Structure 1
């Protein structure tokens, strides 16, 4: 049977969980995820997890945070003056916002704490610093053809 290798385009059903079992994403009820293995379209640990799988195979992989979204970076957590928020916006923990830097680049932030004078914003990826668990099922190796041996 053909095994997944770097450069293959694959279709995978997945169920992503944190190590405590909390689901953060799943392809259930949707089309399988299609991507090129090693093409930088998914996190490194996901690429590594599907490499070597065969069509129809199911497995569970644990991906350490360094092969996922990296470590939590303290410099991505910042204090923002509360009086600089729009008057009609009430800062609340968990609220997701979009900010822009001096160059006009937009990036998402989440409010993690609200104090009297400042609001603490976290620009880290929500899964940074977390080990991830994926249940994988390889559905297809796109363009895969049966091996034909000519006499």
Structure 2
């Protein structure tokens, strides 16, 4: 049996460690011992991340660094919103650094990070927490199969 190389439509099981430029860990599948499972081309990864995985096979390990626009994107000023403090309950007052789930029309929840609380104004950032960051992925390919 020939080894399968990762290509469009491949189902891939992998471990990854995600680090920021300063070397600090941002995320890792190894912490809980649960590898990530994904299908190349399903839209869950950026094209540049997928391109870095192409041609790898089971057992391969690779490290690659992605610029912000190739990873989680650049911060979008349109994703920063100001709310009146009265919209937050006494049970869950807005505090800087908190991550709060906001329900959009249609019932979809999106997380926002409270960036500042000043007077009656609360500034909430709906950008991905890693937007604007250059990140390094260390990946280990555990399994490569063909997607459905």
TM-score, normalised relative to structure 2: 0.85
- Give unmatched runs, 5+ long, in structure 2: none
> Is this contact kept in 1: 2:4–2:145, CA < 8 A?
no
| Separation in 2, partners of 1:91, 1:123 | 15
C-alpha deviation, 1:111, in angstroms: 0.5
Task: Report which stretch shifted further, 121-130 or 34-43.
Answer: 34-43
Matched, 1:25 2:32: no
User: Higher mean Cα deviation, 39-48 or 66-75?
Assistant: 39-48
In the alignment, is residue 128 of structure 1 matched against residue 131 of structure 2?
A: yes
**Which residue of the partner structure matches residue 73 of structure 1?**
76
Instruction: List runs of 5+ in structure 1 lacking aligned partners.
Output: 144-151
* 40, 54, 71: which one aligns with 1:51: 54
Cα-Cα RMSD:
1.9
* Aligned positions of 1:1-150 closer than 5 A: 1-28=3-30, 29-101=32-104, 104-142=107-145
Deviates more, 1:83-92 or 1:129-138: 83-92
TM-score normalised to structure 1 length: 0.84
Q: In 2, Cα distance between the equivalents of 1:11 and 1:132?
A: 20
Structure exhibiting the larger radius of gyration computed from Cα positions? 1
SS in 2 for 1:45: helix
